[in-house]
Amino acid sequence: MKSTRNTTAKSAIQLLLQQSNTALSHKDIQNEVGELCNRVTIYRILDRLVEEGEIHKIINTDGVIKYAPCHQCESHHGHNHDHVHFSCIKCDSVTCLDNVQPSYNLPPNYKVQEVNFTLSGICPNCVK
Task: Classify burial at 104, counting beta carbons within 10 Å of its beta carbon; exposed 0-12, middle 13-18, buried 19 or more.
Answer: exposed
Q: Residues 95, 22: contact at Cβ < 8 Å?
A: yes
Is the residue at 36 inside a domain? yes
Query: How large a percentage of the chain has pLDDT more than 90?
Result: 43
pLDDT on residue 2? 44
Q: What is the CATH number of the domain that holds 114?
A: 1.10.10.10
Using one digit for the tens of pLDDT, what is the confidence trace for 54-81? 898 888 888 889 999 886 554 434 445 6
Residue 95 has pLDDT above 90, yes or no: no
Is the residue at 115 inside a domain? yes
Strand partners, 89: none
Is the residue at 1 inside a domain? no
Residue 1 has pLDDT above 70, yes or no: no
Number of domains in the chain: 1
pLDDT on residue 33? 92
How confident is the prediction for the chain on average, in pLDDT?
Answer: 84
Using one digit for the tens of pLDDT, what is the confidence trace for 77-89? 444 566 788 999 9
The whole-number average pLDDT for the span 49-55 is: 89
Strand partners, 95: 86
Give the number of C-alpha atoms closer than 13 A to the C-alpha of residue 12, restricted to the C-beta side.
14
Sign, CA torsion 11/125/71/74 = negative
Is the residue at 13 inside a domain? yes
Is the residue at 2 inside a domain? no
* CA separation for the pair 113, 5 (Å, rounded): 29
Question: Is pLDDT larger for residue 73 or for residue 26?
Answer: 26
Which domain, by its residues, includes 52? 8-127
Using one digit for the tens of pLDDT, what is the confidence trace for 32-49? 998 889 999 999 999 999
